Amino acid sequence: MTDTTAAPALALTDLHASLTDPVLDAMNFLNEVVARFPEALSFAPGRPSEGTFETDDLARHLRSYTDHLEQARGWSKDQVRTHLFQYGRTNGIIHELIARTLANDEQIHVAPESIVVTTGCQEAMLLTLRALFAVPEDTLLVSSPCYVGITGAARLLDIATHPVPEGADGPDPEAFAAAARRLRQEGRRPRALYVVPDFANPSGTSMTLAARERLLRVAAEEDLLILEDDPYGFFVRAGSARPTLKSMDHERRVLHLGSFAKTALPGARVGYVVADQEVVGPGGRRSLLADELSKIKSMTTVNTSAIGQAVIGGLLVECDCRLREANAEAIAYYGTNLATLLGELERHFPEERRRELGLSWNEPTGGFFLVVDVPFVADTKALEDSARTFGVLWTPMSDFYTEGGGEHRLRLSCSALTPDQIVEGVRRLARFIESRAAEATERP
Amino acid sequence: MTDTTAAPALALTDLHASLTDPVLDAMNFLNEVVARFPEALSFAPGRPSEGTFETDDLARHLRSYTDHLEQARGWSKDQVRTHLFQYGRTNGIIHELIARTLANDEQIHVAPESIVVTTGCQEAMLLTLRALFAVPEDTLLVSSPCYVGITGAARLLDIATHPVPEGADGPDPEAFAAAARRLRQEGRRPRALYVVPDFANPSGTSMTLAARERLLRVAAEEDLLILEDDPYGFFVRAGSARPTLKSMDHERRVLHLGSFAKTALPGARVGYVVADQEVVGPGGRRSLLADELSKIKSMTTVNTSAIGQAVIGGLLVECDCRLREANAEAIAYYGTNLATLLGELERHFPEERRRELGLSWNEPTGGFFLVVDVPFVADTKALEDSARTFGVLWTPMSDFYTEGGGEHRLRLSCSALTPDQIVEGVRRLARFIESRAAEATERP
């Protein structure tokens, strides 16, 4: 391939419309912004801490998994070799270990066959959306502000989304009910709603137990499925963990989306979805929704990497499928980080100063994120200035609103920094905020 | 989650239409049929041979990759740890090694930045189709019979496909040109064409050098992009390897889809697409198509497993990015298998007997597959009988035709059997074919 003739360029406007949608840029931005400002302290990406991970752990996890197959399950070495080398079961090979882990950690009791192991939780979202959304009227309700992974996947598939504003306690069941009724009146079909009940990305909010109960009732009343995404539920800073929606789901209204990126390691790219709904086909033939998702998965990635699954499988075997206990150190670490972040914000901006500036933030009881309301436009231009001049990165909240909003808000993530870095990061952030506030005052 | 109330079942007809499309069932069938008849000899799936692979090789490949990073590239242990543990570059981390391999093995010389590393070649197809197909009129031309991975991915995205019958020498450039013109007259927009130039799945056919040159000219004349899928090109039985379309592509008309499933191992789930086309956006801003695909990838799988990539990366390092040479044993093995299959067919069905039965097959010069034309309907019912009564599996060719056809054809794959198994498998297949032929004769 040599460049002897001029190559005809493709027009961006001739490509799929998702490519000019800001939400797709936002995700790339989140993933790659750190590389652009290597010297800056970053409150931007929701990356997990590397903790005590060492590269050699990968070989150990692989060995734990193959030992498990040979010793606990009596497989031959040949069977194990084929299992890791070959194409395999479309819905995954560690579904039984995941089912045991969900039972131990979340009191979610489901058949392993209802679990689809995916290439990260992102593929689980893609499969789920593709299966459930059939006609242009089908609409996904999303708690807003909303994780860009779900709205971006919907955009790829030309699926309509409808934002439902969250409150201080996260997703609002009554607002979902009202939105569903209104959409139906407009001739649309509200099909499912997406929520992160614990320590949501981006807002850090959580649903009360009462709100969870109410949301399940709303789903039944309005005939909606619930897509529950719960990557941060383990990471409680204050108070105690609340039950997942799936553990309270008596009507199989909930599809539970899971990730090992935060509780194990992102590099394995293993997630899953629990899809234990029944599907009735022609002639009354019944299948699990998981089986239907399998057909779609065979056209997205065929299999989730057997090697990635084996690494996660080994890690689960090592902790006897009690991943919450295995995350005890990480839970303490993130709790300390979030407490440090809150404390430092308070130290730099005591109540009086906050009032003068028109500054505030929320105080999540866990997870990786909090939101700061600032007295200036927190857009990518402000972010570039923050990174270049003050050496600190954060995420503009406007990325998480599909229909505008959040222009004066920024997200801080404290998961990938040490407490010392948080102290220094907030010092830099405070200088940036004070500088912006001074600029605003100076202007006529 | 307990089953205290009746769960409302979902109607299959309320789910996305792809779930009732035969093509999606076909892929699942290919992947899972072996498990249903464990005693049968299987000419069905296009699985690679496990060759000399041992489970412990995985740890060695990982080590080769991390040694490469530390020694050849001077990375610190901390950098390597982060590289394997964390979220990373959306378009992959082994793109430079893949670029070197393509240069060595295929004389494809492209910038590493134009390569998107994907979760198997299937994700490469999905990303490519999603980017290129924007409006309902956009149509994908496919050489027919066609690999179900591409038609299935198109179905997921509601992209129209148009089959173009292949000839004895595979994809037919003139037929593509005529189809493109006809579609345009009908108000549709032929956007790209999909071909497997070497030893196609399912038919085993290959394009001559002249046909490759002509196809590139047709693409220029008709303003089509070419999606070139080349998983089997290494595996030449007779004659010599032909250049890929990408290596002959002076106008960047070709997107080259690649897989390591056949040349390394499927369990890693690593593939790629070379997308070195230029894209012009608003204000004349230029990007690589690979950069646009990255935006889509961030909404399908976020990253390809770093661990899967590291295994393939280590394997490439170990062979100094000369994968064709590293496949010398595999090339010989598959060549012997295909020759054995052809020889045994000839032995059981010499010319006279073939003529009596109305039986024939093609004689591919390489790859995993050949096609047998049989004097009966080779459908899934016949297959079940073949498996249960005669202990031999194959694939109905009708799965590979999107608009009917192939009812009297079956595909034989010889990649996952030993020569001894092929001998026994053809013996069983011959009994099955003779039995069917006798049945047909007995009927009034």
Is the Cβ–Cβ distance between A98 and A316 less than 8 Å? Answer: yes
- Taking the Cβ of residue A156 and every Cβ of chain B, the question of whether any pair is shorter than 8 Å is answered with yes
Tokens of B419: 């020569």
- Taking the Cβ of residue A38 and every Cβ of chain B, the question of whether any pair is shorter than 8 Å is answered with no
Residue B1 pLDDT level (bands cut at 50, 70, 90): very low
User: pLDDT tens digits, residue range B156-174?
Assistant: 999 999 999 999 899 999 9
- Taking the Cβ of residue B103 and every Cβ of chain A, the question of whether any pair is shorter than 8 Å is answered with no
| Residues A197, A147: Cα–Cα separation, whole Å | 12
Q: Which residue of A has its CA nearest to B275?
A: A10
Q: What does the DSSP assignment read for B218-253?
A: HHHHTT-EEEEE-SSTT-BSSS-----TGGG-SSS-
pLDDT of residue A2: 42
Radius of gyration of chain B (CA): 23
**Cross-chain Cβ contact B249/A1 below 8 Å:** yes
Tell me which residue has tokens 């295994």.
B311
Q: Please state, as a whole number, how many other Cβ atoms lie within 10 Å of the Cβ of residue A438.
A: 10
pLDDT of residue A90: 93
pLDDT at residue B32 is higher than 70? no
Q: Determine if the pTM surpasses 0.90.
A: yes
Residue A1, min C-alpha distance to chain B (Å): 5
**What is the SS3 string spanning B124-138?**
HHHHHHHHHCCCCCE
| Residues B350, B357: Cα–Cα separation, whole Å | 11
- Taking the Cβ of residue B131 and every Cβ of chain A, the question of whether any pair is shorter than 8 Å is answered with yes
| Closest by Cβ to A1, choosing from B110, B152, B268 | B110
Is the Cβ–Cβ distance between B65 and B417 less than 8 Å? Answer: no
- Taking the Cβ of residue B155 and every Cβ of chain A, the question of whether any pair is shorter than 8 Å is answered with yes
Q: Give all strands (DSSP E) within A345-430, no chain letters.
A: 360-361, 369-373, 392-393, 395-396, 409-413
User: pLDDT tens digits, residue range A181-218?
Assistant: 999 999 999 999 999 999 999 999 999 999 999 999 99
In this structure, the strands spanning B278-280 and A286-288 are unpaired
| Closest by Cβ to B53, choosing from A7, A85, A251 | A85
A&B contacts, CB < 8 Å: 342
Helix or strand or coil: residue B54?
coil
pLDDT of residue A444: 55
pLDDT of residue A432: 98
**Cross-chain Cβ contact B305/A308 below 8 Å:** yes
pLDDT of residue A23: 76
Mean pLDDT of A29-58: 85
Q: Is the dihedral of CA B83, A45, A198, A255 positive or negative?
A: negative
Mean pLDDT of A30-37: 69
- Taking the Cβ of residue A130 and every Cβ of chain B, the question of whether any pair is shorter than 8 Å is answered with yes
pLDDT at residue B313 is higher than 60? yes
Residue A350 pLDDT level (bands cut at 50, 70, 90): very high
User: pLDDT tens digits, residue range B65-120?
Assistant: 999 999 999 999 999 999 999 999 999 999 999 999 999 999 999 999 999 999 99
Of the ranges B9-18, B66-75, B119-128, B171-180, which one carries the lowest mean pLDDT score?
Answer: B9-18
Mean pLDDT of A270-287: 94
All residues at 6 or more sequence positions from A438 whose CB lies less than 8 Å from its CB, including other chains: none
What does residue B277 show for φ and ψ, rounded to 5 degrees? Answer: -65, 150
All residues at 6 or more sequence positions from A51 whose CB lies less than 8 Å from its CB, including other chains: A329, A330, A333
The CA-atom distances, in angstroms, between A36 and each of A29, A33, A384, A393, B76 are 10, 5, 10, 11, 20
Is the Cβ–Cβ distance between B317 and A47 less than 8 Å? Answer: no
pLDDT of residue B301: 97
Of the ranges A290-304, A429-443, B28-42, B141-155, which one carries the lowest mean pLDDT score?
Answer: B28-42
| Closest by Cβ to A53, choosing from B81, B265, B311 | B81
**Cross-chain Cβ contact B295/A27 below 8 Å:** yes
Q: Which residue of B has its CA nearest to A147?
A: B299
**Cross-chain Cβ contact B250/A286 below 8 Å:** no
Q: Which residue of B has its CA nearest to A274?
A: B1
More confident residue, A22 or A134: A134
Q: Which of A16, A118, A191, A227 to mutate to test the interface with B (most CBs of B within 10 A)?
A: A16
- Taking the Cβ of residue B284 and every Cβ of chain A, the question of whether any pair is shorter than 8 Å is answered with no
pLDDT of residue B25: 72
Of residues A75, A62, A304, A87, the one with CA closest to residue B49 = A87
pLDDT of residue B440: 76
- Taking the Cβ of residue B14 and every Cβ of chain A, the question of whether any pair is shorter than 8 Å is answered with yes
pLDDT at residue A6 is higher than 70? no
Of residues A251, A254, A265, the one with CA closest to residue A330 = A265
pLDDT at residue A5 is higher than 80? no
Structural domains in chain B, sorted by start: 13-50+327-442 (3.90.1150.10), 59-325 (3.40.640.10)
pLDDT at residue B47 is higher than 80? yes
Q: What does the DSSP assignment read for B316-358?
A: HHHTTT-HHHHTHHHHHHHHHHHHHHHHHHHHHS-HHHHHHHT
Residue B16, min C-alpha distance to chain A (Å): 4
Tell me if ipTM is over 0.85.
Answer: yes
Q: Which residue of A has its CA nearest to B289?
A: A10
Tokens of B358: 């109305």
| Residues B231, B198: Cα–Cα separation, whole Å | 8
Mean pLDDT of A81-109: 96
Residue B443 pLDDT level (bands cut at 50, 70, 90): low
Is the Cβ–Cβ distance between A202 and A395 less than 8 Å? Answer: yes
Is the Cβ–Cβ distance between A271 and A121 less than 8 Å? Answer: yes
pLDDT at residue B4 is higher than 70? no
Of the ranges A15-29, A72-86, B305-319, which one carries the lowest mean pLDDT score?
Answer: A15-29
**Cross-chain Cβ contact B306/A153 below 8 Å:** no
| Residues B120, A24: Cα–Cα separation, whole Å | 22
- Residue B323, Cβ density class (10 Å: 0-12 exposed, 13-18 middle, ≥19 buried): buried
Q: Which residue of A has its CA nearest to B135?
A: A16
- Taking the Cβ of residue B4 and every Cβ of chain A, the question of whether any pair is shorter than 8 Å is answered with yes
Is the Cβ–Cβ distance between B10 and A251 less than 8 Å? Answer: no
pLDDT of residue B2: 42
Name residues 171-190 of chain A within 8 A of B (Cβ).
none
| Residues B43, B36: Cα–Cα separation, whole Å | 14
Counting residues of chain A whose pLDDT is more than 70, the rounded percentage is 96
Mean pLDDT of B278-285: 91
- Taking the Cβ of residue A81 and every Cβ of chain B, the question of whether any pair is shorter than 8 Å is answered with yes
The CA-atom distances, in angstroms, between B224 and each of A177, B210, B220, B279 are 48, 19, 7, 15
pLDDT at residue A394 is higher than 80? yes
Of residues A128, A121, A167, the one with CA closest to residue A144 = A167
**Cross-chain Cβ contact A15/B50 below 8 Å:** no
pLDDT of residue B186: 98
**Cross-chain Cβ contact B157/A157 below 8 Å:** yes
- Taking the Cβ of residue A299 and every Cβ of chain B, the question of whether any pair is shorter than 8 Å is answered with yes
